Amino acid sequence: MLPYLQKNVPLSSYSTFGIGGEASFFLPCKTIDDLAGGMSWAEENGIISLVIGHGSNCLFPDQGFPGLILHNELVSFEDQGSGFFVVEAGYSFSLLGVQTCREGWSGLEFAAGIPGSVGGAIFMNAGAHGQETSLPLRFVEVLEHGKVQRIPRQEIRFGYRFSSFQEKKGIIVRAGFQLQKDDASYSRQLQMLEQRKKTQPYRESSAGCVFRNPPGCSAGKLIEEVGLKGTRIGGAEISPMHANFIVNSGGATSAQVKQLIDLVQSTVLEKRNVRLQCEVRLI
């Protein structure tokens, strides 16, 4: 048995939506050995496993997760000089963005206010304001079959909210970012943060944008045009502030959020002939 293994842990506490039933097993992982031990324990016992960072892009099911959740809590941070930063995957992506910009480094301005981990940001290729995680990234270290392998940036495929990690099994454990000197980066970041607070329901429980923007248009604009802004099912609501956000306005269930997602997809398909794809991971 793993020393820190917990049973029946409510995933609502590990999701920015504040939604989700219990994980049958839950392992807080502070070291690579914890992650490797958890992965092999799950394999040996024929149990499914899933690594999570800050749960800011996940909708967990009401009935819970019938397997092992590995909670990535690896948080070391190294400033290696000349704008090169090496951080572990559980480190706060927002904090990384703020710390580096304050020191006059450019490349991660957009990260401020994204409530994910570095691992989750790489996995999702998080982005905003024309920047994305993959651009300043130089390498990623991945744990697979008990071994850590360093993968150079050029060997990883990235796209709009896509990384090739979405097609593989490994766990991202560490990454290196090369940033560029730019004394205006911090003031640019403050403007981006201001814009975020003005246009997004930033203080409410959500998982950020629910749908990917279809090529050449905005998912939020389409949802607004078909008249769904402000629509509620139970405690789940399409934000009156930003139609691509679904918020948990109190007591929402995963099923209610899923019903709103289905309603948006079918209405936008019927009225605008556009098939919206989920950006949020439906676990």
Q: Which is nearer to ligand FAD, 159 or 227 (CB)?
A: 159
171 touches ligand FAD (CB under 6 A):
yes
126 touches ligand FAD (CB under 6 A):
yes
Contact 98, 108 (CB under 8 A): no
Q: Find the part of the chain contacting ligand FAD (CB under 6 A) among 122-130, 147-155, 252-260, 269-277.
A: 122-130
Give catalytic status of residue 58 as yes or no. no
Q: Find the part of the chain contacting ligand FAD (CB under 6 A) among 4-12, 110-118, 228-236, 263-271.
A: 110-118
Q: Which residues from 187-206 bind ligand FAD, rule CB under 6 A?
A: 202, 206
Instruction: Tell me how many residues contact ligand FAD (CB under 6 A).
Output: 32
- DSSP-derived pairing of the beta strands 58-59 and 281-282: parallel
Q: How far apart are the first and last CA of the chain?
A: 26
**Residue selected from 20, 21, 37, 120 as contacting ligand FAD according to rule CB under 6 A:** 120
Angle, helices 93-102/185-199, rounded to nearest 10 degrees: 140
Q: Cβ 139 to ligand FAD, closest distance in Å?
A: 14
Q: Cβ 273 to ligand FAD, closest distance in Å?
A: 26
The residue annotated as part of the active site, out of 73, 88, 209, 237, is: 209
- Which residue do the tokens 């020191």 mark? 103
Give catalytic status of residue 29 as yes or no. no
DSSP notation for 24-50: EEEEEE-SHHHHHHHHHHHHHTT--EE
Q: Which residues from 75-104 bind ligand FAD, rule CB under 6 A?
A: 89
Residue 217 per-residue DSSP state: S
Q: Which residues from 39-58 bind ligand FAD, rule CB under 6 A?
A: 50-58
Q: Cβ 13 to ligand FAD, closest distance in Å?
A: 13
Give catalytic status of residue 174 as yes or no. no
User: Residue 45 — φ and ψ, nearest 5°?
Assistant: -100, 5
Name which of 267, 183, 190 is nearest 225 in CA terms: 267
Q: Count the alpha carbons within 13 Å of 37 in the hemisphere toward its beta carbon.
A: 16
Name which of 142, 200, 126, 206 is nearest 174 in CA terms: 142
Name which of 76, 61, 73 is nearest 15 in CA terms: 61
114 touches ligand FAD (CB under 6 A):
yes
Q: Which amino acids are annotated catalytic?
A: 161, 209, 279
Q: Which residue ranges make up the site for ligand FAD (CB under 6 A)? A: 16, 50-58, 72, 89, 114-117, 119-121, 123-124, 126-128, 165, 171-172, 202, 206-208, 281
